Amino acid sequence: MKNIINEFLNLVKERNGDEPEFLQAVEEVAETVLPYIVKHEIYYGKNILLRMVEPERAITFRVCWVDDSGVIQVNRGYRIQMNSAIGPYKGGLRFHPTVNMSILKFLAFEQVFKNSLTTLPMGGGKGGSDFDPKGKSDGEIMRFCHSFMSELFRHIGPNTDIPAGDIGVGAREVGFLFGMYKKLKNEFTGVLTGKGLSWGGSLIRPEATGYGTVYFAQKMLETKGEGFNGKQVVVSGSGNVAQYAVEKSIQLGANVLTMSDSSGYIYDSEGINTEKLAHIMQIKNVKRGRISDYLETYKNAIFVKGKTPWEVKCDIALPCATQNELTEIDAEILLKNGCICVSEGANMPSTIQAVHVFQKARILYAPGKASNAGGVATSGLEMTQNSLRFNWTREEVDLKLKEIMSNIHDSCIKYGKDEDGYVDYVRGANIAGFVKVADAMLAQGIV
């Protein structure tokens, strides 16, 4: 089996050698899906995974805009339309200076499996730009978003490709993008998700990724007769996903000790409560400041510069910032400190070596494509509401989100349970996600 996996990975490396994040995402899937393909005749010998690692379409384009001092800036825009076997391309847009083909292809590839797991009819895509929103005025953000959409609009549509937010793209950016799309197409459609409530957005979409990550962790903990109440929780990030993962953890009675950004982490030994979280939301969403600003108000807390929070003793870890933020050494420290559950809010936050450490120790570990799927699932619910020209209540959407997370958990168990009862959520998520897409691809022929 090792030979088959290596042969496949070498082939993918030959074609995508300078794309480390993409190769990492493919390796993690190949390790679990290829053994399944080999055992199932309907998939074997059809190069099905090789077809899935090749984007159906990858678009790059120039984005020119004028900054506040009148200087013309040039950025690069992307949209990777990875797989449309089970529905139109769906996935977020990332605005961050590190954005490149490798990062967007890894995200688009993960998105294919994740969207399949939600059980909703959505293919996978991802896009973005190397534009850095940090320190930009609202006017600059608007001009950039308008310029970005002035090209992207011809490649997307409510039945073709439906972008949404990701790092650096929240409600403000989705608003500017939607405004330009509507002007160019003269159509009011659900072409983007994460929209504002008064113009087609869904209740609970802002909360959905963070809440879903916690709902998934709850399902995992239940299998051991455990829950969030009274547990020590360590969270990384302080953006959209982190904020609502913290909110839900607090609601369930946990004690949240940390949050972070790219400059370091804050540790509040007394716990981040609802009032403190509201303050962090103000710092991050309104003032667009640094996480260390927390210490100006909460002087008991400490700020650890340039480090990630995995050294803090906890029961549950929720990585909610970015890819590869949790290394093999971090994983070992978490285990040594007694951590029993890791539920990923971010996409691929654990290195492949860290994942192997968690699997070897047989703790409850959920890969992002399963545990953070609540965000895109609720985007799917937003699309449904747009099509119905109807809005569900907060309670209705939250209930559907919970059901979807529970179904994803069931799918992971179906395909990931070992004979001794241990659930390998990586194997479960990869195979469950693969089967639905592969079946659709086989039914549609070689296209």
Ligand X SMILES: NC(=O)C1=CN([C@@H]2O[C@H](COP(=O)(O)OP(=O)(O)OC[C@H]3O[C@@H](n4cnc5c(N)ncnc54)[C@H](O)[C@@H]3O)[C@@H](O)[C@H]2O)C=CC1
> Which positions touch ligand X (CB under 6 A)?
165-168, 170, 209, 237-242, 260-262, 320-322, 325, 345-347, 372, 375
CB of 92 to ligand AKG, least distance (A): 3
Residues 147, 379, 411, 430: which binds ligand AKG (CB under 6 A)?
379
**CB nearer ligand X, residue 152 or residue 208:** 208
Q: Which does 238 bind (CB under 5 to 8 A by kind): ligand X, ligand AKG, none?
A: ligand X
Q: Give every strand in the sheet of 89-95, ordered side by side.
A: 57-66, 72-83, 124-129, 89-95, 161-164
Nearest-CB residue for ligand X? 239
Catalytic-role residue among 13, 39, 105, 126: 126
Nearest-CB residue for ligand AKG? 92
Q: What letter does residue 87 receive in the DSSP assignment?
A: S
- Verify binding: residue 319, ligand AKG, rule CB under 6 A: no
Does residue 73 contact residue 66 with C-beta atoms inside 8 Å?
yes
Which three-class secondary structure state does DSSP give residue 366?
Answer: strand
**CB nearer ligand X, residue 154 or residue 307:** 307
Q: Is 147 annotated as a binding residue?
A: no
- Verify binding: residue 376, ligand AKG, rule CB under 6 A: yes
Q: Is 165 annotated as a binding residue?
A: yes
| Beta-bridge partners for 305 | 264
d(CA 248, CA 270): 18
Rounded to the nearest 5 degrees, what angle is found at the Cα of 34, between the Cα atoms of 28 and 40? Answer: 145
Q: Is 263 annotated as a binding residue?
A: no
Give 387's Cβ-side CA count (13 Å radius). 8
Does residue 340 contact residue 358 with C-beta atoms inside 8 Å?
no
Give 113's Cβ-side CA count (13 Å radius). 34
The region of 7-15, 84-92, 404-412, 428-436 touching ligand AKG under the rule CB under 6 A is 84-92
Is 400 labeled as catalytic in the residue annotation? no
Q: Which does 193 bind (CB under 5 to 8 A by kind): ligand X, ligand AKG, none?
A: ligand AKG
Which three-class secondary structure state does DSSP give residue 167?
Answer: coil
CA distance to 27, 183, 233, 257, 360, per residue, from 314 (Å): 29, 50, 6, 8, 19
Q: Which does 416 bind (CB under 5 to 8 A by kind): ligand AKG, ligand X, none?
A: none
The region of 77-85, 132-140, 302-310, 374-382 touching ligand AKG under the rule CB under 6 A is 374-382
d(CA 431, CA 425): 10
The torsion angles phi and psi of 42, rounded to 5 degrees, stand at -65, -25
CB of 289 to ligand X, least distance (A): 11
CB of 222 to ligand AKG, least distance (A): 24
Q: What letter does residue 284 receive in the DSSP assignment?
A: I
| Known binding residues for NAD(+) | 209, 240
Active-site annotation, residues: 126
Residue ranges in contact with ligand AKG by CB under 6 A: 90-92, 111, 114, 164, 166, 193, 347, 375-376, 379
| Known binding residues for substrate | 90, 111, 114, 165, 379
